[in-house]
Structure 1
C-alpha cells in the first residue's frame, strides 16, 4: 500500500500538544513530525513499525537538527503515541481492508470456489438451461463491505481508545487527572500480549556485540568513551521498570544511544582557542574585566566581548 489514513482532529489533538510542550517545539513542527512517523510506519514490511526510525532519519524528514528530532521521539514515547517501536493503535486506525490488492485476491478465491461448487452440483437446471456464472465486482472501499455504527474518534489516531457506543468517551478513573481539552482522563491501557511482540528486558550481563562496537566507533566515539557508554547503557536500562524497560531490538536501541552520545561529545568539544562551556567563557571574560569576581557574574553588569 502506498497510502495511510489521517483522521479529522489530528491538528487539535491534546496529546500532540502535550508532546510538543515536552519536546519544547512548536505544535506545527510536532504535527509534521507525527505525519512523518506515520508515513515511515506505513512503508514498513510490518506496517506501524518505527523501531528503525532514528533521530538522524527523522531530522532529515522534518529539516531539523538530530537533537531536536531526538527530543520529539522521546516525547512521542513519553505520551504513549509510540510503544515498543510501534505506532500505538495502528491496526485500529489503519484497517487491513484498506489493502485493495489483498481484498481483490480474497474475492477472486471466493468466486472461484463458488464456480467449482456449481460444477460439482451440476451446472444445468431441470429445464436444460445453463446456470449463469456468479460474477460480481470486489468493493473498492470498505464502505461496501463494512458497517460502522459510530464514526471513529479522531483522537484514536494518536493511540486513544475509540469512543463508547453513543459517542461518549470513557470517564477518568478516581484520582486520575482529567484532560484539560477533552474533559476525560487517560485511556485505559490495552491488554498486554504475551510473547516477543512486547520485547524483552536487557540481560544483566549485556555487552555490546562486535557490530555494536564497530558502529560506536563509526559515529566517532573513542574506545574509552565506548566502554563508558556501554556501562551507562546497561545500568540505565536495567534500572528501568515497566513497559519502558522492554525493547524489541536492543541492538537498534544501542545504536541510537551511541548516536546521541556522539552528538553530545561533538557539542561539548570547543574549537581551538574558544571556551568549551559557559563557565569557561565567563572566566575568560572575567580576565578581561579584572574587577569582576568569578562568584558574582550578575552584579557587575555586562562583560566585554570575547576576542575573535
Structure 2
C-alpha cells in the first residue's frame, strides 16, 4: 500500500521561517548556536534530493538540527559550528590588524585552525 502524503512528508516550504515560539525555544535549548545555523538548515534541506529531502514535521526537524549544533558546540568549545558558519561569521582578531596564530600548526589561525578541529573530532569519535 503506498504511503499517503502525510506519511511520506513534504519538502521544506519556501516560506519556512523561524517563528517567535521557535526563537524562544532556541534561546532556552540552544543558546550558543548562532542564527546563521537556520540559513544552513534551509540551504541543506532545500538542496536535499528525492525522499531524503522530505519530512513530516519541519519544526521538529529544525529543533533536532539546533540540538545537534548545541551539542557540537558543547563538546568542542573552540569549534564555531558548521564550516558554513565559520565562513559567514569569522572569528574576530584581538586587534583589528593582528591575527592570532595557532600554537600547534604554523600558518593556521588560532581559534579556527582546521587541523586542531580535525584532531578534536578524531579524538572524540576514536
Show the counterpart of 1:193.
Answer: 3
Within-5 A mapping of 1:73-222 = 192-222=2-32
CA contact (8 A) 2:7 2:56 kept: yes
TM-score w.r.t. length of structure 2: 0.57
Going by fraction, where is helix more abundant, 1 or 2? Answer: 2
Runs of 4+ in 1 over 6 A off after TM superposition: none
1:260 aligns with 2:68: yes
Shift of 1:249: 1.0
Q: Which has the higher contact order (CA 8 A, sep 6+)?
A: 2
TM-score w.r.t. length of structure 1: 0.25
The structure whose Rg is larger is 1
1:240 aligns with 2:62: no
CA contact (8 A) 2:30 2:66 kept: no
Structure 2 vs 1, CA of residues 281 and 268 (structure 1 numbering), >3 Å: closer, same or farther?
A: farther
Shift of 1:195: 2.4
1:230 aligns with 2:38: yes
